[in-house]
Amino acid sequence: MKTGTQNFKTFLILIFSLTIVNFTFSQDKSDWEGGFPDGCTSITVGKKATADGSVITSHTCDSHRTRSWINIIPAKDHKNGDMAKMVKRVACDTFAMPIYQHDLVGEIPQIAHTYGFINSAYPCINDHQLGVGESTFGGREILQSDTGLIDCQALVQLMVERNTTARDAIKMAGELTKQYGYIDVGECLTISDKNEVWHFEIVGAGKGKVGSIWAAQRVPDNHLSVNANASTIKEININDPDYFMASENVFQIAKDSGWWKPEDGEFRFCYAYAPHSRTSFASRRREWRVFDIVAPSLKLDPNSENYPFSVKPDELVSMEKLVTIFQDYFEGTPFNMIKDLTVADDDGKMVISPLANPQMPYDENKLFKINGGWGWRGERSIARWYTMYATIIQSRNWLPDEIGGVAWIAMDNVATSIYIPVYCSVSDLPTAYKTSGREKGYTRESAWWAFNRLGTLGVQRWGDMRHDIDAVWDPMQKKFFAEQKEIDKKALEMFNKKPKKAIEFLTGYSIKQGDKVVKEAWKLGDFLWTKYDEKF
C-alpha cells in the first residue's frame, strides 16, 4: 500500500509528465558552421591502455558563447517532495559578448542525496570519480523535439549528481529522457568511472514527442576511442550487455521511418539516426588524426568515411601524449592549413612564414585562400581558438574517490594553454577560474581572459611566439604530471588519518597551481607583446 508521500510523488510525476508538452524551445545552433556542429572533441581511454592504469575521458568545450568560468557544487541532502529545476540553454546576445542564458522549462522530482561535482559548462566529474566528456553530432533534424524538459547540459548534471558508475548514469539517462523528454540535438556523452568508459549517443524521439532514442558502447579496456562531432556507434549487439546498451525503440523507429531495412544489411546506429554526421571531413579527419597518432601501425586512410569505434594504441597512452593530441593542428601532415603560406628565409629556402597562423578565424581563411577537406574553412583541427575550457579526466580505482578522481583543466585554446590538476573532492577553486569573462567583457580578473589574450597574441606570429610559449608551459606541465604521485601519496597519508585534512590539502594544492599559471599567462602575454613589438 502506498504512503501519502508516495501518492503525492506519483501525482507530481503524473502532472509533470502531462504538462511538459507545453514547454517549447528551438535548439540553438549558433555554434555550428556550414550546417554542421563545430564544437567539441572527446577522447576516451580504457584502464589497460593508459600508462598508469587510469580510466580517462576528456572534452574540449569548443564554443562561441558557452560560459567561461567553473565552480564547485557540493553534495547535498534533499527533503521529500523537493523538485529539481530543469533549465535549457538559449542563445543570448544582450551582454558584452555572446552567452547562453538558462531558461526554466519545468521540474522533476529530486532524489534524497546528490553528489558534489566540478561545475564546468558541462559538469565534468563528481566526488565519486564519475567523469563526463561531450561532443555534439546533430542527427536527423526531424528527431529534434522541443517537447520535454531535459537538454544535454541538464542531462550531464543529472548524471553526475545521481550516479557513481557509467552504466548507472546511462541507464538513468535513458529512463529520465524517456519519461520527461530529451530536447536537444544529437549528442555523444563519454562517461567514465573507476573501471570503464562508455560512449552514450542520444537523439530526440521526433518533433512534438516526449522521449529519446539512444545507444551506448563501451570502450574495451585496452583501447582508445574518440568522438569529434559525428556519431560513431555502428552495429549494436544487445545480447552483449557488457559492451552495449540501447533504448528499447532503437531498432523499431529506424525501421518504421525507412532509415534501416533489415534486408539491406545490419543495423548501424550512426547511419540510421545521424547519417550526415559521417559526411563531414571536419569530424572524420579529427578521428583519423587521433587514431593515427596513437596507432600509426594501422595506417588508416585519412580520407575514409569510417574508422573503427576504438583502436588499441601501439604504446600505452600517457597524459603527456594526450596533451600533445589536444594541441594538434595537423602539423607535419598534408592537412596542415598553413603549409603553403611560405616565404624565403635568409638562405633562400622556402619555409612556412612565422606569420602563418593555424588558428585563423574563418573569415581570415578567405583572405589567404585556405582550402582543405572542409572547403574554404580548411581543416577542422583538434586545437581550436574558440575553446572555452578543456578537460582530461582521470578515474583511478586504486585510490579513495577523494584522491583518485582528477580533472586536468585548461582554459581557452589548448595549443597555448596548460592543464592544472583539480582533484574531484576539492571544496574551492582559484578565484580567477570562478570569475566570468563574457557578460561584462575583457577583465584581468578572469582566468579565461588571461589565456584568451595569450592565445590571441601567440598566433599573431605563431612561427616564433609558439616557442616562447612552449618554453614556459612545457616544463611546468611536465612538473605537474611528475609530482602527481607525490601529491597522491601525501594526500593518502592524510586521508588515512583525517579525510577532511586531505581534502583541504588537495584544495590548497589545486588553487596554488591555478593561481600560478594565471599569473604566468598574464606575464607571458606581456612578454610577447614587448618582444615582438612592430613584428605582428
* Distance from C-alpha of 267 to C-alpha of 273, rounded to nearest angstrom: 11
Q: How confident is the model at residue 32 (pLDDT cuts 50, 70, 90)?
A: confident
| pLDDT computed for residue 197 by the predictor | 99
The mean pLDDT of 175-181, rounded to a whole number, is: 98
Counting residues of the chain whose pLDDT is more than 70, the rounded percentage is 94
pLDDT tens, position by position, 477-518: 999 999 999 999 999 999 999 999 999 999 999 999 999 999
| Number of helical (H) and strand (E) elements in the chain, helices listed first | 14, 23
pLDDT confidence of residue 24:
43
Q: Which residue has the cell 612578454?
A: 527
CA distance 9 to 3: 10
pLDDT at 362: 87
Question: What b/e string do you get for 72-101 counting C-beta neighbours within 10 Å, with b at 16 or more?
Answer: bbeeeeeeeeeebebbbbbbeeeeeebbbe
Q: What confidence tens digit (pLDDT) does each residue in 222-239 have? A: 999 999 999 999 999 999
Measured distance CA(37)–CA(280) in Å, rounded? 10
Q: What's the pLDDT band for 27 if we cut at 50, 70, 90?
A: low
Residue 277 confidence class, pLDDT cut points 50, 70, 90:
very high
pLDDT of residue 373: 87
Is 80 exceeded by the pLDDT of residue 55?
yes
- pTM of structure: 0.94
Question: What residues have CB less than 8 Å from 529, skipping those under 6 apart?
Answer: 457
Higher pLDDT, 23 or 294: 294
The alpha carbon dihedral of 40, 43, 44, 47 has a sign of negative
* 29 has a pLDDT exceeding 80: no
Q: Of 36-40, 162-166, 315-319, 444-448, which range is least confident? A: 36-40
Cell output for 520: 604566468
- pLDDT-based confidence at 10, cuts 50/70/90? very low
Cβ within 8 Å of residue 212, ≥6 positions away: 174, 177, 178, 181, 182, 202, 203, 204, 205, 247
* pLDDT averaged over every residue in the chain: 94
- The answer, yes or no, to whether residue 217 has pLDDT greater than 90, is yes
Q: Is residue 22 scored above 60 in pLDDT?
A: no
Q: How confident is the model at residue 35 (pLDDT cuts 50, 70, 90)?
A: confident
pLDDT of residue 28: 66
Query: Distance between CA 278 and CA 450 in Å, rounded?
Result: 36
- HEC-encoded secondary structure of 131-198: EEEEEEEECCHHHCCCCCCECHHHHHHHHHHHCCCHHHHHHHHHHHHHHHCECCCEEEEEEECCCCEE
Residue 467 to residues 341, 416, 450, 528: CA-CA distances in angstroms? 19, 10, 18, 11
Distance CA 386, CA 94 (A): 20
Whether residue 23 is predicted with pLDDT greater than 50 in this model: the reply is: no
pLDDT at 30: 67
Q: List, for residues 330-368, the tens digit of each pLDDT value.
A: 999 999 999 999 999 999 999 999 999 999 988 899 999
* Least confident among 323-332, 374-383, 448-457, 511-520: 374-383
**Ramachandran assignment for 521, one of left (phi > 0), alpha (psi -120 to 50 degrees), beta (any other):** alpha
